[in-house]
Structure 1
Amino acid sequence: MIGRWLMNKILDPLPVWLQVAIVLALFSPVAWNYVFPSEETAFVLHNHTERPISEAVLDDIWVGNSPAFNGYSTGSGVICCAELNKEKVDVRWRLSVTQNQYDSGVRGEDREKEVLIPDRRDDDFYLHVHIYPDNEVRLVWSETRQSELQVIRGKEAQDNVIGKSG
């Protein structure tokens, strides 16, 4: 009721053509996005290594950083949004070090690998970038922030991952 009264007070003094223009300006972006949906992608980085990843990049798209795998979760935050309309991407990442690793002589390293982008279903919005100790990179689409390859277990998972790289 108050909204109708307020709209009448604002729109009544305006000419009809201006009222129509305002309504079109307000609702045309909504209609455009409904008719022509965007192919934007959000990115989630998953680190399956015992070393932190200080940055990861798909072609020219920064997809985040991630702490070393702690045995409980491999996922980082979501980086949003960019369009990704390719069949292959060049994945570059920088393996960083923890203080204990630095003290033992391990230093940061840059890695790179070309990876095929899997097929995307209509509802998929998140591209999960999984980086493993043997420089393997796997990409997985998902409707949610959870990936089918995401590890959420415990100490035995950490021992398995770190045991593979050592």
Structure 2
Amino acid sequence: MSLLSRLEKIDASLNRFWARWSRWLRRGLILLVVIWGGNLAWAVFFGPPTGGVALIIHSEIDRPILGFSVNGVAGGNAFAHGGGALTCCGTIEGDTAEVIWTLDITHSQYLQGMRLEKRLKTLPLPERKWGEDNLHVHFLPNDQVKLGWSRDAWSPFEIRPEIKTKK
């Protein structure tokens, strides 16, 4: 049997296969595209909020915070008794938040014998709604930490000033 006759037999068998199964292969491909598109549409319209999160630190303690992280996403520093920073962007998922922070010291506290301290606290992560892309982390005295989501830079735990409009 020559090479040419073998190639003709292979070509004939491929043509028979395609004639029998082409309709099912096309339908299967269309079905895969429809399933993928439906999954994408569900995630966009009905799925949970996802994506990058900005961490905003609020400190109400008497020591500066050298740095912190929430579930491994690093945040900024904060001065003692206020101040803070915004750090963008990371992905925070799950039902719990592991907050790790390092307490720094001022010069007077160093002279009193205080040194750097690392703290850890695990607490439930508040429910995130659509559009809430800012996670506010409040550090309070006695190693208390509060977490809250918001749509803008205003913390959900602070009173917002009312905006007066000109008439």
Q: Same fold (TM over 0.5)?
A: yes
2:66 aligned with 1:54? yes
Match of 1:106, SS? coil
Give the match for residue 79 of structure 1.
87
Pick one of 68, 83, 102 that aligns with 2:80: 68
Paired residues of 1:46 and 1:150 also in contact (CA < 8 A): no
Alpha-carbon shift at residue 93 of structure 1 (Å) = 0.4
Pick one of 71, 80, 88 that aligns with 2:96: 88
Give the match for residue 18 of structure 2.
none
Give the match for residue 135 of structure 2.
127
Q: Which has the larger radius of gyration?
A: 2
Deviation string 1:103-142 (CA, Å, 9 cap, x unpaired) is 1111111100001110112121100011112111110101
Query: Match of 1:77, as an amino acid?
Result: A
Paired residues of 2:102 and 2:119 also in contact (CA < 8 A): yes
Alpha-carbon shift at residue 39 of structure 1 (Å) = 2.4
1 CA distance for matches of 2:159 and 2:103? 19
Deviation string 1:4-23 (CA, Å, 9 cap, x unpaired) is xxxxxxxxxxxxxxxxxxxx
* Structure with greater proportional strand content: 1
Paired residues of 1:44 and 1:75 also in contact (CA < 8 A): no
- The ranges of structure 1 where at least 4 consecutive aligned residues each deviate by more than 3 angstroms after the TM superposition are 35-38
Alpha-carbon shift at residue 38 of structure 1 (Å) = 4.7
2:118 aligned with 1:110? yes
1 CA distance for matches of 2:153 and 2:146? 16
Structure 1 residues 90 and 143, CA, compared in 2 at 3 Å: closer, same or farther?
A: same
Paired residues of 1:131 and 1:137 also in contact (CA < 8 A): yes
Where structure 1 has 5 or more consecutive residues not aligned to the other structure, the ranges are 1-31, 153-166
Aligned length: 115
Paired residues of 1:75 and 1:150 also in contact (CA < 8 A): no
Q: Which has the higher contact order (CA 8 A, sep 6+)?
A: 1
Alpha-carbon shift at residue 148 of structure 1 (Å) = 2.7
Query: Match of 2:116, as an amino acid?
Result: G
Query: Match of 1:127, as an amino acid?
Result: L
Where structure 2 has 5 or more consecutive residues not aligned to the other structure, the ranges are 1-39, 161-167
Match of 1:65, SS? coil
2:106 aligned with 1:98? yes
Paired residues of 1:48 and 1:130 also in contact (CA < 8 A): yes
Query: Match of 1:58, as an amino acid?
Result: V
